[in-house]
């Protein structure tokens, strides 16, 4: 004879089993959903990186002009600081290179100055070449140097072909660019 207590116990165990099965199934679906969401996120990230690499990089300068990373000319990218004496000594040399228009010159302040302070440095040091605004430095495809001054030689395709640590002169830059050009041929 089946007593009401036995019936309730069997029904209770069956319900418990049903609830446990339901939780297991939904957890598996939840794990599957998490995996799908992670994959979708990774694909979106990769797509964004690929899309950004296809777009030509343009940064704004203190002078208010856009500067395109890729160009028909070679580019000299010079990191400087106002407290760095070798940096200050090479500014007239970089001004000459910029004025000759054989190569483009882009200055990058090592110090993270706001635009007003950076404009003051440009005026005090008589910098005639474009200087990128501090907010755009992180967008540049060159790393922040550990030594100042540091100069990067960039091909017309936008590829960094050479890094020069230490003070540069107009002649040193011309020689470095000729060497970089010959290595690409």
Kindly report the CATH number that applies to the domain delimited by 58-184. 3.40.30.10
At 7 the pLDDT is 45
At 184 the pLDDT is 81
At 77 the pLDDT is 97
CB within 8 Å of 68: residues ≥ 6 apart: 56, 57, 58
Q: What residue ranges of the chain have pLDDT lower than 70? A: 1-23, 25-26, 28-56
Q: Which residues pair with 77 in a beta bridge?
A: 106, 152
Pick the closest to residue 59 from 142, 126, 117 (CA basis): 142
Q: Angle of helix 85-100 relative to helix 170-184, nearest 10 degrees? A: 60
Other CB atoms within 10 A of residue 163 CB: 15
At 44 the pLDDT is 64
Q: Which residues pair with 59 in a beta bridge?
A: 67
At 24 the pLDDT is 72
Q: Does the reported pTM lie above 0.75?
A: no
Q: Where are the domains of the chain?
A: 1-55, 58-184
């Amino acid at each position: 004879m089946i007593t009401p207590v036995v019936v309730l116990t069997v029904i209770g165990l069956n319900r418990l089993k049903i609830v446990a099965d339901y939780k297991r199934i939904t957890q598996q679906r939840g794990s599957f959903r998490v995996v799908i969401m992670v994959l979708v996120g990774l694909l979106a990230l990769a797509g964004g990186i690929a899309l950004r690499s296809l777009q030509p990089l343009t940064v704004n300068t203190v002078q208010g002009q856009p500067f395109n990373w890729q160009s028909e000319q070679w580019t000299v990218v010079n990191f400087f600081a106002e407290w760095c004496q070798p940096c200050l000594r090479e500014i007239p040399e970089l001004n000459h290179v910029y004025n000759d228009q054989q190569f483009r010159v882009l200055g990058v302040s090592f110090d993270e100055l706001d635009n007003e302070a950076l404009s003051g440095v440009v005026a005090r040091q008589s910098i005639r070449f474009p200087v990128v605004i501090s907010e755009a430095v992180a967008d540049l495809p060159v790393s922040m140097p550990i030594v100042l001054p540091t100069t990067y030689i960039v091909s017309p395709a936008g590829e960094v072909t050479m890094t020069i640590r230490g003070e540069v002169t107009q002649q040193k830059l011309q020689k470095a660019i000729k060497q970089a050009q010959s290595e690409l041929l």
